């Protein structure tokens, strides 16, 4: 598949992830009387990945996340030469979705961008007031486990056709655990879009949501290679 088509698929997939996930948090989480809350937002993020995995998995692999691309590279599943194009497409998709979400959300009287547009944060900007260290550990561990699920579910030895379900459910579980801590990133592209729209504190704290997911993804890629080497012996 030509790189241009794969980049387009990654752009669209990441757009859907950020619009669906962050959109559910901004527009529907606290809607009077029928708000979907933490459980609904967690499910929304999982559903975006599940639906896109079936829609574009056969085109681009459906990474939708710079950390996933880097983790797959570390695990020997992705070419280094494709990393930068994929990451650029993912970040642009996340930014486009955040822009669309802002246009929708700001159409309601009383909208205030200081609410964060589902941005990720630590310390005073953590939903539960968690420290920088707690947020760092959370993002590293959650991304590590996410990549372990991805690498395992897409292993050639795994049952065929079920990877999107496992990956979507894993992302749902990750959000159930970590929304109170960081508002859940595990995805630098998902964090970058809203942060650029919000500016200020969201930009100043964005570094964590690049560094921690990448560390977790690299560790998972290296760790999963150990499973593969043992199997080959």
CA atoms 7, 11, 12, 17: torsion sign:
positive
Is the per-residue pLDDT at 32 higher than 90? no
| pLDDT over 90, % of the chain | 88
Residues 6+ positions from 55 with CB-CB distance below 8 Å = 13, 62
Of residues 97 and 112, more confidently modeled: 97
Q: What is the mean pLDDT of residues 132-157?
A: 97
Mean pLDDT in residue range 224-231: 76
pLDDT at 61: 96
pLDDT surpassing 80 at residue 46? yes
Q: Three-class SS string for the chain?
A: CCHHHHHHHHHHHHHHHHHHHHHHHHHHCCCCCCCCHHHHHHHHHHHHHHHHHHHHHHHHCCCCCHHHHHHHHHCCCCCHHHHHHHHHHHHHHHHHHHHHHHHHHCCCCCCCHHHCCCCCCCHHHCCCCCCHHHHHHHHHHHHHHHHHHHHHHCCCCCCCCCHHHHHHHHHHHHHHHHHHHHCCCCCHHHHHHHHHHHCCHHHHCCCHHHHHHHHHHHHHHHHHHHHHHHHHC
**Per-residue pLDDT tens digits for 90-104:** 999 999 999 999 999
State mean pLDDT over 5-17: 98
pLDDT digits (tens, 9 = 90+) for 171-220: 999 999 999 999 999 999 999 999 999 999 999 999 999 999 999 999 99
Question: What's the pLDDT score for residue 229?
Answer: 61
- Fold of the domain spanning 3-232: Glycerol uptake facilitator protein (1.20.1080)
**Per-residue pLDDT tens over the stretch 74-84:** 999 999 999 99
Which pLDDT score is estimated for 230? 55
Mean pLDDT of 126-130: 97
**Residue 228 burial by CB count (10 A; 0-12/13-18/19+): exposed, middle or buried?**
middle
Name the more confident of 33 and 45.
Answer: 45
Distance CA 183, CA 109 (A): 25
Per-residue pLDDT at 97: 98
pLDDT score of 233 more than 50: no
Q: What is the pLDDT of residue 33?
A: 87
Confidence label for 27 from pLDDT (cuts 50, 70 and 90):
very high
């Amino acid at each position: 598949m030509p790189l241009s088509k794969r980049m387009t698929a990654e752009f669209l997939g990441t757009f859907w992830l950020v619009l669906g996930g962050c959109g559910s948090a901004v527009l529907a989480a606290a809607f009077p009387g029928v708000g979907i809350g933490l459980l609904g937002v967690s499910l929304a993020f999982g559903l975006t990945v599940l639906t896109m995995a079936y829609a574009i998995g056969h085109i681009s692999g459906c990474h939708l996340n710079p950390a996933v691309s880097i983790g797959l590279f570390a695990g020997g599943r992705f070419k280094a030469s494709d990393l930068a194009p994929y990451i650029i497409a993912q970040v642009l998709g996340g930014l486009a979705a955040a822009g669309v979400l802002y246009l929708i959300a700001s159409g309601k009287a009383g909208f205030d961008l200081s609410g964060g547009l589902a941005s990720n944060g630590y310390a005073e900007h953590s939903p539960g007031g968690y420290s920088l260290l707690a947020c760092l550990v959370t993002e590293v561990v959650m991304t590590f486990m996410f990549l372990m699920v991805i690498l395992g579910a897409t292993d050639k030895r795994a049952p065929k056709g079920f990877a999107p379900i496992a990956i979507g459910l894993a992302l749902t579980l990750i959000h159930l655990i970590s929304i109170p801590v960081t508002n859940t990133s595990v995805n630098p592209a998902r964090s970058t879009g809203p942060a650029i729209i919000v500016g200020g504190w969201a930009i100043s704290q964005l570094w964590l949501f690049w560094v921690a997911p990448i560390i977790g993804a690299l560790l998972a890629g290296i760790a999963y290679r150990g499973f593969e080497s043992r199997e080959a012996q």
